[in-house]
Chain A
């Protein structure tokens, strides 16, 4: 029996004639943790999708346990023992945890009580603290991830593919996840692990494969890599000094107090939260998952509503405001760049130009009678060049873009509204390192132009690299403020946890 559980030879996948992966050779050994890294658009997702039956190869061959295979559906791949935990959650939000776990395995006469008990026992065996009767839509990102993993384990997969599994996890949850992955490895399960967090790949993986522009660059033991070598292989240029490496030596002075949040409440996530945001500065907001950061700023942007009774106050330039929907907030100059771009950020089958034009139209809460395709085209061209969106043209659909370029479209859509207060929620989540540098430059430029910029991030190096002042949120409220000059990772984490 071959040592490779899955193997690709000269694997190529074309989308409308454009190669997503080209002549890629890849081998996954039995019981190893194999990290695949690369910029967005490097072909990582396509390779793993081919492995899990989501897409079929255009040419080349795939072998499972030494036998040629070509799974046409995820179900076929599952029968081959390959399961994928997707970056975008593939759970049914309106169903319970147990129902999601046993989805597709229902019996003719299905007793809910029976599957709840089975799910409870199974989740306990994995030491997962998830209630099987809970509706998945009500779970946080980390718990959804646990359900996804549990489902893969339940299906007795011999290969489990994780696509950005740690993006939405807190540091503690990440450690827990790493332990889980290691225990899966001990059971003989092979793990494919896609991550933008290179440290995680170095920490967890046995071997690392680097892809670039759809092509295989290098595969080697993790011990033979360091961060610089991976980055060099990923982008073909040395970015390690420009990304998160530099510590701030000066901070921008605070300008006008643009936003004041006073005793804001939205049970159970936001608890008596107070903070200010000033013009001409980047205000970083750090916190662990569930700290109420996103919810606070979604209330500011009119996406969520604060508590009806004694819900606190939001003052925009000293004047109390309360937005029940986003449109008046947009008109007042508040832009919120979502953390979940695929769900909230754009219409993926619409063109780049149209998506950006929608951002402009959002400034007209009552709608606009005449729409101009010329204006749409012009603004699309303008923003594509300003943000260096790599696409065939303004008519390209957003779904065809890589994660980093999709994020740029989402940002362009917000900036087209000419806001004074821009809230970036996890601006570089699931974005390749090249795009991260460009997005960071853009954020700094906006602050230099005098805009009030908020960056919500769970990634400490990002917060420290970007922020002039850092607010630390814990359990629904801001508990500490640091100047970027005095902040250290330890101080911030201490405030976030204790």
Chain B
């Protein structure tokens, strides 16, 4: 059939690209409460990203860079703009992005500048990773909306995300991939890179020659930052789960435009990092709470999830905070001293999960 006709009929019949469906949370993504019951290692006002540098855990809290030690933290340096990405580099250095438009390399312990300030051509940098040959990999989520306005990018069906390779010495920025539907998180594998493409619910591999191929597809979540795991593979965070309601809204262009025009952003029907602030919000849990138990397939508005990926990117297991929990909006994870530190941006919490113990619970 002519593709345009096929699209037309698919739209009417709700199939093909117009099928408003969401993959299930099952198998290795089977819901549990490990994230919800994790130890709270700290609470912060505006946490954004997390990394390990020189054996210490650093956290971006609004414009402040903080070093976490046990249940306490101290401010290392305060900037003029909010930190939007954080990455530990060899030699006890840190790379940070400020307001998504500027990247700096710092000496982690002192917080002093240790390299050139890179700006220009950056718009919404939301994740940084160490790349090959001492370069930096950075994901620039959107060329149209600033970092804080990611929800508008989703509603506009943004596809202007980029993966950038940055030489911190010269400040040279090279676009490795573009046209991504909100790039949010990257990791290097040799000369290749892995990127979270949030709005397409997948991870893509960007080869050194620029070819892009999906390695994990049909995720039931919006994937975000990626952190390497100590024994191979990765930790993939997901800032919320997909719902049929949002999938439906994303098909209704007129509705979205009008909603953005007439409704305050806090009440838009979009994925959220936390929920429950107002009765005017769309329903959380969607009536699927029966006998005191919220069913795992209940459509959530916000959710907390970290997925452990094998080196071949197949999901091995996952840690959840379900719809009835609060540790939602997971945007970053970092492994340190046999524990996984998880940043739940929704409640502003830093969570700590001993990995071996968590695995034991999963095996029970």
- From B20, B27, B290, B364, name the one whose CB has the most chain A CB atoms within 10 angstroms: B27
CB-based contact A257/B297 at 8 Å: no
CB-based contact A311/B15 at 8 Å: yes
A263-B244, A274-B297, A480-B295 are known contacts. Are A311 and B24 too (CB-CB below 8 A)? no
CB-based contact B19/A312 at 8 Å: yes
Give the Cβ gap from A351 to chain B, nearest Cβ, in Å. Answer: 42
Residue A479 is within 8 A (CB to CB) of chain B in the complex: yes
Docked Cα-Cα span, A199 to B297, in Å, equals: 35
CB-based contact B13/A262 at 8 Å: no
CB-based contact A315/B218 at 8 Å: yes
Give the contacting residue for B27; candidates A276, A309, A313, A315; CB below 8 A.
A276
Give the Cβ gap from A38 to chain B, nearest Cβ, in Å. Answer: 40
Docked Cα-Cα span, A308 to B21, in Å, equals: 14
| Interface members, chain A 465-498 (any B CB < 8 Å) | 469, 471, 477-481, 485-486, 498
A309-B13, A309-B14, A485-B364 are known contacts. Are A260 and B23 too (CB-CB below 8 A)? yes
Docked Cα-Cα span, A275 to B220, in Å, equals: 12
Given contacts A262-B24, A276-B26, 17 further A-B contacts (CB under 8 A): A262-B19, A262-B23, A263-B20, A263-B22, A263-B244, A274-B21, A274-B22, A278-B27, A313-B15, A315-B218, A318-B218, A469-B27, A471-B26, A477-B297, A479-B295, A480-B296, A485-B364
Residue B81 is within 8 A (CB to CB) of chain A in the complex: no
Docked Cα-Cα span, A310 to B10, in Å, equals: 9
A262 / chain B contacts, CB cutoff of 8 Å: 19, 21-24
16 contacts between A and B (CB under 8 A): A256-B314, A260-B23, A260-B24, A260-B218, A262-B19, A263-B21, A274-B24, A274-B26, A275-B24, A276-B24, A310-B20, A311-B14, A479-B295, A479-B297, A480-B296, A485-B363
Q: Which residues of A contact B (CB under 8 A)?
A: 254, 256-257, 260-263, 274-276, 278, 308-313, 315, 318, 320, 322, 469, 471, 477-481, 485-486, 498
A318-B218, A479-B295 are known contacts. Are A313 and B21 too (CB-CB below 8 A)? yes
Docked Cα-Cα span, A482 to B15, in Å, equals: 31
- From B12, B21, B22, name the one whose CB has the most chain A CB atoms within 10 angstroms: B21
CB-based contact A498/B21 at 8 Å: no
| Interface members, chain B 244-297 (any A CB < 8 Å) | 244, 290-291, 293, 295-297
Docked Cα-Cα span, A221 to B218, in Å, equals: 59
Between A and B, how many residue pairs show CB distances below 8 Å? 73
CB-based contact B13/A481 at 8 Å: no
Docked Cα-Cα span, A480 to B290, in Å, equals: 12
| Interface members, chain B 317-364 (any A CB < 8 Å) | 363-364
Docked Cα-Cα span, A310 to B30, in Å, equals: 25
Docked Cα-Cα span, A415 to B244, in Å, equals: 37
Docked Cα-Cα span, A113 to B105, in Å, equals: 89
| Closest residue of B by beta carbon distance from A262 | B21
B14 / chain A contacts, CB cutoff of 8 Å: 309-311
Give the contacting residue for A310; candidates B19, B26, B291; CB below 8 A.
B19
A311 / chain B contacts, CB cutoff of 8 Å: 14-15
A485 / chain B contacts, CB cutoff of 8 Å: 363-364
CB-based contact B27/A320 at 8 Å: no
A260-B218, A308-B13, A310-B14 are known contacts. Are A481 and B30 too (CB-CB below 8 A)? yes
A263-B22, A478-B297 are known contacts. Are A498 and B290 too (CB-CB below 8 A)? yes
